Structure 1
Amino acid sequence: MTEEREFKPVPRIVWAEPGDAEAVAERIAAEVSKPGRKRIAVPGGSTPIRIFDLLAHRKLDWSGVTLTLTDDRQVPDDHEASNFRKLSAALGSSGATIERLEEGRRVDPFDLVWLGMGADGHIASLFPHMVAEIRPGRTVISTTPIPLPPEAPFARLTLNRRALCAAKEVIIVITGDEKRRVIEKAQNGNDASYPVSDVLHGCGAPVTIYWSK
């Protein structure tokens, strides 16, 4: 049985122009440069690597920034599929604090949540079909996508919906025409089969979509 979701009024949704990697890096750099301490959630996978590289070459003060992955594979830190390994390699020497995902850990609200999205509309490791822990509040949960993707056949750790939605702002970074069609469909309707719909329609935080070919 599909869980019924109560959709709230659509928040402000903006498509960034331009929406390429350089524009995303500029947005993250602007967040890092704000005064005071900042909490930023960042995605795993292959897409953010170029943006992490662009950020690593900027002269930014990361000392007041805490970075948390939106999700990771349940593998050792030195495994090639580890998102923690990739993030640490890119920004571990920047001065930022990198929080490790731990199942059941309570999550403080974020200043910015940066999400990717799969062609099936999944965000972080919240999939249309999955086995998932149900935990109250803003927490890290364990999920297993159904079916397991052959390129990454691992159980996952992910911020749950409440943790992702506890943000002052959300950005979604996608590439390619297929993903654009998916997110436009999710934006224009209340199709709860796409997990990204929860962010577009149910969180209440402003959402900026960065899309490039």
Structure 2
Amino acid sequence: MTDVVWAYPGDAGAVAAHVARVIARHGPKRLAFTGGSTPLKVFALLAQQGLDWSDVTITLTDDRRVPDDHPASNFGKLNAALGASGAAFERLEEGMAVQPFDLVWLGMGEDGHIASLFPHMHALVRPGPSVIATTPIPLPPEAPFDRLTLNKRALKATREIILVVTGASKKALLEQVLAGSDAYPVSDILRGYGPPVTIYWSE
């Protein structure tokens, strides 16, 4: 079973320190970052650290199918935050095969979804680690867009996963999953066979 640990502390500074340690490793690194508001805080912290990003390739775990300059574009926000870092950026393209990662950073929704793998969705199934198209059911009113996302095999094709969540309700859901629930997309990451997971939780 998956090795799961809770990190203390679990705030943005601790997440930034974890990512910085991966970046500092010798040789090429491949990282997959989540979207949302928390990563922007971490990106700002990382940008202040003088890290060498020259052998780092960054992709997203998922994104909305909108132009880069759309407010809902995770790629647009990632590029604005780290575009000057010297890292290479790999865009998500439907059907593309995905090479293994050194780190996959996941968030989680209130419904237990990870990346853009929702409890209920239309999705195109593809074999192997790849990028698939998904449409949440129902479409979230705050982000009513089709998505591109790494599939489960791609998310698990990594040396390690960090799962970064905030709020008491999400902590309760994770505790429910770790106690045995298989009812959520995150269940497969925490309870199936796969890479080790470090949970960073803060209020």
Per the normalisation by structure 1, the TM-score is: 0.94
Aligned to 2:200: 210
Aligned to 2:20: 29
1:139-158 → structure 2 map (5 Å cutoff): 139-158=130-149
Post-superposition offset of 1:203: 3.6
Give the 3-state SS of the residue equivalent to 1:47 in structure 2: helix
Aligned length: 203
Choose which of 39, 50, 61 in structure 2 pairs with 1:59.
50
Superposed CA offset, 1:82-135 (max 9, x none): 000000000011000111000000000011110000010000000000000111
Post-superposition offset of 1:187: 1.4
Whether 1:197 and 2:187 are equivalent positions in the alignment is: yes
- Write the letter of the residue equivalent to 2:155: L
Superposed CA offset, 1:135-184 (max 9, x none): 11110000000111111000000000000010110110000001000111
C-alpha separation in 2, matches of 1:12 and 1:135: 27
- Write the letter of the residue equivalent to 2:189: V
Choose which of 161, 166, 170 in structure 2 pairs with 1:175.
166
Aligned to 1:133: 124
Post-superposition offset of 1:18: 0.5
Unmatched 5+ residue regions in structure 2? none
Choose which of 137, 140, 157 in structure 2 pairs with 1:166.
157
Post-superposition offset of 1:57: 1.1
C-alpha separation in 1, matches of 2:199 and 2:124: 29
Superposed CA offset, 1:57-91 (max 9, x none): 11100000000100000001111110000000000
- Write the letter of the residue equivalent to 2:62: D
Unmatched 5+ residue regions in structure 1? 1-9
Whether 1:44 and 2:49 are equivalent positions in the alignment is: no
Per the normalisation by structure 2, the TM-score is: 0.98
Give the 3-state SS of the residue equivalent to 2:32 in structure 1: strand
Measured on the aligned residues, the alpha-carbon RMSD in Å equals: 0.8
- Write the letter of the residue equivalent to 2:40: I
Segments of 4+ moved more than 6 angstroms: none
